[in-house]
Amino acid sequence: MSSKYLVAALCWAVVVVLAVPVLGQESTETKTLTVKGIAAGGEPKHRDDAIMDALRKAIEQGVGTFIQSQTEVEDYAVIYDKIISNTRGYISEYEIVEEGIENKDDPRKVRTWVTIKAVVKLGNLKDDWQALAFLIKKKGNPKIMVVIRDKIDGKVDKNRGIDRSSVEFESFLQEKGIRPVDKATMQENKLNDIKGASLEGNLAKVAALGKEYRANIVIIGYADATHRQSSEPYPGVGMVHYYRGSMVVKVVRTDDAQIIYSKNFPADRKTDIGDQSKLAAANKALVKVGKMATPEILAGIMKAWNQDITLGSEVTVTIQGVNFASVRKIMKKLKKIRFVTEVNRDHFSNNIVKFRVKTRYDSFKLADKLIDEEICKDFQVTDVKKNAIDVDLTLTEEDE
């Protein structure tokens, strides 16, 4: 792939979440920049493209050139992944200062331009919690359920009333203005079911149970306190037992049971802690690994949300009662909807088709657009979730 096409592909793919360290520094500097974005065309969709172009330019100016001249790169996705894993710059807010359309009378030369004032913040996203409120609002105030089980020496105590690692995470969420799902309101058998599914890694069951309690994502996994040694540090003090904590987590989206973030936090000496009681030492190690891991986990969730907002999230559109001849027509109409960037047909069977739609709309706004654009004749939207829309062509308003 040539240098020109590499840069173009990355600029579009990365947009707001992209930046790289500047000379290896962990700067927290804030820069306000005024930049102009341009897109060919004069339709509303081209205005969106111009805004995205301006945001990309703001980041480039804020953190410097993020791609050096490339002469021969076989797989730009490898470079993209590397850049994303080292994110240091992002847009925290922006406003449109001026906009317009040039050469309206010439279809070949018409273009849309937008001038924005953008605030670019440098520093790792996980260290700037001011952006969290913005992300939560943009994601529709999603609800989070935390089901991280405690283990001691690799074993779960089924009679254990409180999972301290979950409590630690929930407290951290509340500090950041996020209200986790209150598991005290859950039926005991449902709570036990989701705890079991968490340990089993049964994502479908976790998603179904989380959805039942209106959770948009469920954080599952376990924290393990492992006995390291027992010794008497000083004569007459008595035996002290030392434990070390580790954690494995997955963040599951309930609409489609997809993992949006996962992380293994191996046993680290930073979590070592001792006590004359083995149980007390183990509990302290669980709390300690929870304190260490929770900021990074939430940062991972923020990053996934940020990419959903800026690059678009995936919504599954399931249409029932459609014949195969209509599938291509529907797909073309979906692609023409504003803010839809990609449409893929998942499968067709028994007159049911599933589309995976990449869009910067949330699913509710996309459902409105399906109706406004009349993607097919005589259809009803029967169900809308955070990342899924169900459509039925066999129903009419009289049937309902």
User: Domain holding 109: CATH number?
Assistant: 3.30.1660.10
334 and 306 in one domain? Answer: no
Looking at 275, 310, 345, the residue that finishes a domain is 310
10 and 112 housed in the same domain: yes
Does 373 score more than 50 pLDDT? Answer: yes
Higher pLDDT: 141 or 349? It is 349
- 309-322 pLDDT, tens digit per residue, is 666 678 899 999 98
Is residue 77 within 8 Å of residue 92, measured between CB atoms? no
Radius of gyration for the alpha carbons in the chain, expressed in angstroms and rounded = 25
Residue 169 within any structural domain of the chain:
yes
Q: CA–CA separation, 86 vs 31, rounded Å?
A: 19
Which of these ranges, 35-39, 175-179, 209-213, has the smallest mean pLDDT?
Answer: 175-179
**Mean pLDDT on 36-61:** 85
Any domain includes 399 = no
**Where on the phi/psi map is residue 153: left (φ > 0), alpha (ψ -120 to 50), or beta?**
left
Q: Are strands 388-392 and 313-320 parallel, antiparallel or unpaired?
A: parallel
pLDDT tens sequence across 338-363: 778 889 998 899 999 999 998 877 78
Please tell me the distance from the alpha carbon of residue 244 to that of residue 180, in angstroms, as a whole number.
27
pLDDT-derived band at 160 (thresholds 50, 70, 90) equals confident
In a domain, 130, yes or no: no
What is the average pLDDT score of the chain? 79
Compare 394 and 311 and report the one with higher pLDDT. 394
Q: Which residue in 196, 184, 190, 194 sits closest to 218, CA to CA? A: 194
When pLDDT is cut at 50, 70 and 90, the band that residue 11 belongs to is very low
Least confident range of 24-38, 272-286, 324-338 = 24-38
Domain boundary among 294, 310, 326: 310
**Model pTM?**
0.59
Percent of the chain surpassing pLDDT 70: 78
- 232 three-class SS: coil
Cite the beta strand spans of 153-272 per DSSP E.
Answer: 217-231, 240-253, 258-265
> Do 302 and 321 sit in the same domain of this protein?
no
